[in-house]
Chains A and B, each alone.
Chain A
Amino acid sequence: MSAATFERGYNALKEQIDAPIASFFSSCVRCGICAEACLFFTETGDPKYTPIYKLEPLRKVWEQEYTLLGKFKALFGLAQKLTDAELAEWKELIYNGCTLCGRCSMVCPVGNDLVYMIRRAREGMVAAGHAPEGLINASKRAVTTGSPMGIKLPALQAQIKHVEKDTGLKIPVDEVGVEYMVLLSSMEIINFPEYLEAIAKIMQQAGKTWTIASAAFEATNSGIQIGAADIARELVSRVVTAAEKLQVKTVISPECGHAYTAIRWEGPNLIGRPFTFKVQHILEVLDEFRQQGKLKTSGFDSNRLTFHDPCQLVRRGGVVEQPRHLLKMIASNFVEMSDHGKMNWCCGGGGGHSAIEEAHELRTQVFQRKKTQLEELKVEKLVTACANCRIVMEEGFEAYEMPMPIVGLTEMLAKHLATSNESN
């Protein structure tokens, strides 16, 4: 039977070092600016959470395997080879101490894409057997059951029945040749069925055809979070096969930010060819409906509320303006957080972090960042567009006893959908 070994991990790190990574390491000027961008550093004050420091094992491999200086150093015994113990030690930094939020990549004065590197470093950790148990189990479930939370088709079918009963609308499954194929995240299926309900209503109002694929309804990709391209590829291929079989024009990524990154940006690279369909985030689709005059709302929410930008949407995905346009249709007292948009602070639980049991305490600690942002604003309500952010922030609110409702933007819009003769 195969198993993870240090040698496999070392080889994987060697494999990951491409031209961008080599040039990033050689151009780092050690300014430490990335530290200030990372919530793990700002909230703990511990310099070991400086993003570039989290990459020390990968840097060592680069220096020793690919640079002249590194080879000299090794020759004269000036440099120590990377050891398994070091990898074990860095597990805490690479997984528990990073949510792949990408804020550090935004500030590096020499343009180093740090989060790209951390994502790559995880490949080595996985192959060496140093991935956290929570993520390993999620990946196993994703591959065997189709969902990281172990949700199988019958569970979805049961939810579909509920939603159909509540709304009187039919939820199309496996329809061929429709415009949109809608993906869901397990969190949405189990914790927030309102999402599916919202989609059904909005699609109905907009007069669009859509479907869910029974062979690939789950969008979250544990392979990306744990850092195993092989597993990520397997999961992405399922979606691609289903979408191509159903001949849909567009696949809609659910609110979940990492799901979007996985299918939209990493997807085609993983399978090594362009998709035959388009991929859009649900908010991009909704904003298009709005522009086409196909999204009509009525009434305004007058609570003082703000929007939490999911990291993967704003920083990796460029979905910044869409939620604002949409919110303005239905909220009369919308205020922006400090650092909103592409510099927004992470909820503290992205990148698979929320699946890491032993990182719970640290997650609560770094949530203080969001807490501070929200306290400055004195809002009554928080809107976001990622089921994972939502759960993480709900837990944070609980820990700090901050009673504040959080809603998903899609479902909030659905609540304000106009019936045929009224609209804003």
Chain B
Amino acid sequence: MSKYPTIGESLRHQGISRRDFLKFCTAVASILALPAAMIPKIAEALESTPRQSAIWLSFQECTGCTESLTRSHAPTLEGLIFDLISLDYHHTLQAAAGTAAESAREAAMQGNKGNYLVIVDGSIPLGNPGYSTIAGISNVDMLKEVVAGAKAVVAVGTCAAYGGIPHAAPNPTGAVSVDSLITDKPIINIPGCPPIPLVIAGVVAHFVTFGQLPNLDSLKRPHSFFGQTIHDRCYRRPFYDKGLFAETFDDEGAKQGWCLYKLGCKGPVTYNACATTKWNDGVSFPIESGHGCLGCSEPNFWDAGGFYKPLSVPINGVIKATTGYALAAGAAVGAASGALNRLKRSQARQNHETVTITDLERNQK
């Protein structure tokens, strides 16, 4: 049994009514992409689930990931997450400092051995251990010590997921990602510089509600949010398809909202949800503000050949030859089935009998 109150109890303790609790469950259901009919089931599960103990470790990072989460919007995601979890240690956010903070971490590790969640932002320097320490403990030692008793690890942000900016050439600190050090625990990557708050919330909510991580792709990213590229979902895509490109940031094309490909947009090779969830309460996202995607949620994004260099200039290490073949094959299959579907639709069109007011009803038999 956990010493933590259940989520239901803790919400009631804050004076949250049943109705608000159900609203909360609806918010959870929606970020988990579940149908409305699941809401009562979620309510039932959350009512009796203890709040999940979580330890947040910040290594070589800029605090942008924490900022991204705490600056998020309605239904205040950070509120939602903090209702689902008990954040037992987060040295940027917690009130305690020094020894008190470190003993909170130790207490959480002992009290919830084998059950707590570790959330990491920032990369880990393997060069000189003194490059980044907390309470005199090097990042690598703290990571290994804390993860040993964890149930799962969430690597938040591109630094934790792939090394990020600290890892950029020449990588002076020898920065590495979490999954290059930890191999014996379930890990999920939520890359992005910073990552989309909704995605962090969605993953945590999934973990608490179902007790396991969601489906992952080969780079350990949640399928539901990283299944498509920015390009797949970009509202400037029709211009790309027509070959209409802005050539400079202030030419006529740019003013007409044409595709930013030639200005270095990395949308076509970047898997993330920006084009659909957008940023700042759904206000816009970089491409909508006139700048190409930097590809911040992909490995090596900082070294991918210049933010303003168009993609067709081959980028070392990012697009491998195999991807090229796979793309070609995929395109061929896609084209073939696309052609069949077009045929089918045009047949349906040929079969169209003009609807007039005399055929709005069935024949009376």
Report which A residues bind B (CB closer than 8 A).
1-5, 8, 11-12, 14-15, 17-18, 22, 27, 29-33, 35-36, 41, 47, 50, 65-66, 68, 109-111, 126-127, 129, 131, 136, 139-140, 143-144, 226, 228-231
Contact stretch, chosen from B10-18, B32-40, B295-303, B312-320: B32-40
Residues of B within 8 A of A3 (CB): 358-359, 361-363
Task: Convert B327-365 into 0s and 1s, putting 1 for each residue whose CB lies closer than 8 angstroms to a CB of A.
Answer: 000000000010001001100110111111111111100
B360 touches A131 (CB 8 A): yes
Given known pairs A11-B352, A14-B348, the reply for A2 and B359 (CB within 8 Å) is: yes
A30 touches B33 (CB 8 A): yes
Besides A4-B361, A11-B352, A126-B360, 7 new A-B residue pairs in contact (Cβ under 8 A), listed by A number: A15-B351, A27-B228, A31-B29, A31-B32, A36-B30, A41-B36, A140-B360
CA distance A65 to B340 in the complex (A): 10
Residues of A within 8 A of B353 (CB): 2, 8
Given known pairs A11-B352, A33-B30, the reply for A136 and B361 (CB within 8 Å) is: yes
Chain A binding surface, main DSSP class: helix
Interface of chain B residues 33 through 66 with chain A (CB within 8 A) = 33-37
CA distance A29 to B361 in the complex (A): 36
Q: Is B276 an interface residue (CB 8 A)?
A: yes
Q: Is B173 an interface residue (CB 8 A)?
A: no
Out of B26, B36, B228, B358, name the residue touching A2 (CB < 8 Å): B358
Residues of B within 8 A of A143 (CB): 356-357
- 12 cross-chain CB contacts under 8 A: A1-B358, A4-B359, A12-B348, A12-B352, A15-B345, A27-B233, A30-B34, A109-B276, A109-B277, A136-B361, A228-B355, A231-B356
Q: Is B6 an interface residue (CB 8 A)?
A: no
Residues of A within 8 A of B235 (CB): 111
Residues of A within 8 A of B361 (CB): 3-4, 129, 136
The 8 closest A-B pairs by CB, nearest first: A14-B348, A15-B348, A29-B33, A32-B36, A129-B362, A3-B363, A230-B355, A2-B359
- B196 → A minimal CB distance (Å): 11
B357 touches A140 (CB 8 A): yes
A18 touches B30 (CB 8 A): no
Task: Convert B261-277 into 0s and 1s, putting 1 for each residue whose CB lies closer than 8 angstroms to a CB of A.
Answer: 00000000000000011
Report which B residues bind A (CB closer than 8 A).
26, 29-37, 224, 228, 233, 235, 276-277, 337, 341, 344-345, 348-349, 351-363
B363 touches A1 (CB 8 A): yes
CA distance A302 to B200 in the complex (A): 50
Residues of A within 8 A of B233 (CB): 27, 110-111
CA distance A140 to B30 in the complex (A): 43
Out of A36, A65, A109, A126, name the residue touching B26 (CB < 8 Å): A36
Closest chain B residue to A228, Cβ basis: B355
Closest chain A residue to B198, Cβ basis: A109
- Choose among A1, A31, A41, A139 the residue with the greatest number of B CB atoms under 10 Å from its CB: A31
A17 touches B355 (CB 8 A): no
Closest chain A residue to B337, Cβ basis: A68
Residues of A within 8 A of B33 (CB): 29-31
A32 touches B363 (CB 8 A): no
Closest chain A residue to B338, Cβ basis: A19
Residues of A within 8 A of B360 (CB): 4, 126, 129, 131, 136, 139-140, 226, 228
A66 touches B363 (CB 8 A): no
Residues of A within 8 A of B37 (CB): 47
B362 touches A32 (CB 8 A): no
Out of A47, A65, A139, name the residue touching B35 (CB < 8 Å): A47
CA distance A137 to B160 in the complex (A): 64
Residues of B within 8 A of A1 (CB): 358-359, 363
Residues of B within 8 A of A33 (CB): 30
B354 touches A5 (CB 8 A): no
- A236 → B minimal CB distance (Å): 15
Out of B26, B224, B228, B357, name the residue touching A144 (CB < 8 Å): B357
Residues of B within 8 A of A139 (CB): 357, 360
Out of A22, A47, A65, A127, name the residue touching B355 (CB < 8 Å): A127
- B257 → A minimal CB distance (Å): 16
Residues of A within 8 A of B26 (CB): 36
- A250 → B minimal CB distance (Å): 25
B341 touches A32 (CB 8 A): no
CA distance A136 to B358 in the complex (A): 10
Residues of A within 8 A of B341 (CB): 22, 66
Residues of B within 8 A of A129 (CB): 360-362
Residues of A within 8 A of B362 (CB): 3-5, 129
